[in-house]
Amino acid sequence: MSNMNLAFKSKGKKEVVLIIDEDEKISIARKTALLETVPYLDVVITNSSLDGIRFCRDLIPRFVIINFDMPDINGLLICSIVRQMQACEQIMMYGCYDPEKSPLSTAFQVGFDSCFRKDVDEENLIGTIKRYYEKKKAINGYFDDVEKVRKSQEQMLPAKIDRPDFSVDYIYSPYKKLSGDYIDFWYEADRNGLYGYIFDVAGHDIESAFQVSGLRVSFRHAFEFCSDSVSNVLKYVNRELFLLQVEPTLVAALAFRFDFNTKQLFFSSAGIPSFYIVQNGEYIEIEMTGNLLGDLEEVVYEEKSILVKNVNEIIFSSDGFSEIFKKTNCFKKHDDLSAVMVRFKKKFD
């Protein structure tokens, strides 16, 4: 038997398709057809069963197409041997059979994923591999999109503030790659005030990420028009949600304003349960209530204020952060985590 190992070394990260068939003409025709449909593959062909097994071990192909009726070791046995190699469990094994010679009954038992009739199913075989790569391409495209959106979300985050009398820092940790949370804050020197908000859209997918972008714009507009009242900021965003959506997205949010002249913190909540004040090392929870944004159209949000005296830090957070913050035995996060930490470098008396 002439050794027809027309094996090409695998280049780079190209995926390999291995064809084990005694008939050189069939192998070459199959290779040509495969490369016409999926040009970025490495197609390796061999007419030797032993070499086929060796290639499976060394190249770990994505697909192996085996002729059942190999003259030295038959295709069923090749499949069975390859399946017992630990690294080869994930290989897709396709068998080509002649219905007059080889019964199908044991093919699936030894580990074939699919079988094709030699005489009539050649197009199906190539089409199946083509569809696999089309699907794979689509899935990879989705992950590329997720990565782009993730980067874009990170770029939207605010710059940290570090001033002589206070600093503002944040924690931002998406549940998976994308976040339904967003935080923003800024200092306005002419008003000597710190402004900010935090919100949490249900979900952590691409749709949530787009909603985050839209809400960010709404909040910025709201602060432009209603900067003296954080409850009106929430009312403005809520109204926008009802104007833009028939069944609005639900959003938990909190808006705040700290007036450095009067030392007063103004805050309003749309479903974020609390925030924390750190005073002499002690965490004091300030509880709040308020309808979620997008829940009811005509809602008045309550605005409260507290005088900030002898305070080291104020921590505003999404519900995911609050949850782990309160549990000392919590080792996994369930949600996006975000928090804004305002640290006072000198205490107000």
Partner 1 sequence: MEFVSFEARTATVKVEGDMDVTVVVRIEDELNECLDRGCSEIVFDFEKTTYIDSTVISRIVTFERKLRKIDGKVFLVNMAGEVLRVLNATKLLERMKKN
- Sites of contact with partner 1 (CB under 8 A): 175, 180, 200-204, 247, 249-250, 252, 269, 271-274, 287-292, 295, 319-320, 323, 326, 334-335
Whichever of 35 and 250 has its CB closer to partner 1, that residue is 250
Smallest separation, CB 317 to partner 1 (Å): 13
- Helix ranges (DSSP H) in the chain: 24-37, 49-59, 75-83, 107-110, 122-155, 206-225, 230-244, 319-326
Spatial contact of 222 and 214, defined as CB atoms under 8 Å apart: no
Smallest separation, CB 144 to partner 1 (Å): 23
How many other C-beta atoms are found inside a 10 Å radius of the C-beta of residue 154? 11
Whichever of 239 and 343 has its CB closer to partner 1, that residue is 239
- What order of strands is seen across the sheet that includes strand 42-46? 42-46, 16-20, 63-67, 92-97, 114-117
Buried b (16+ CB within 10 A) or exposed e, 242-257: beeeeebbbbbbbbbb
Smallest separation, CB 287 to partner 1 (Å): 7
d(CA 102, CA 115): 11
d(CA 60, CA 88): 6
Query: Which of 239, 215, 236 has the alpha carbon at shortest distance from 297?
Result: 239
Whichever of 196 and 320 has its CB closer to partner 1, that residue is 320
Residues 6 or more apart whose CB falls under 8 angstroms from that of 205 comprise 178
Smallest separation, CB 334 to partner 1 (Å): 5
Smallest separation, CB 33 to partner 1 (Å): 41
Whichever of 120 and 246 has its CB closer to partner 1, that residue is 246
d(CA 270, CA 255): 9
Whichever of 104 and 300 has its CB closer to partner 1, that residue is 300
**Per-residue CA distances from 273 to 200, 269, 333 (Å):** 12, 8, 18
Residues 6 or more apart whose CB falls under 8 angstroms from that of 301 comprise 231, 232, 234, 235, 238, 268, 269, 270, 290, 291
Q: Which two tokens stand for residue 306?
A: 């507290």
Smallest separation, CB 143 to partner 1 (Å): 19
Whichever of 48 and 317 has its CB closer to partner 1, that residue is 317
Smallest separation, CB 293 to partner 1 (Å): 11
Q: Cα 251–257–260 angle (5° rounding)?
A: 165
Whichever of 85 and 296 has its CB closer to partner 1, that residue is 296
Whichever of 292 and 311 has its CB closer to partner 1, that residue is 292
Amino acid letter, 144: D
d(CA 187, CA 178): 27
Smallest separation, CB 291 to partner 1 (Å): 5
Whichever of 79 and 252 has its CB closer to partner 1, that residue is 252
Smallest separation, CB 131 to partner 1 (Å): 27
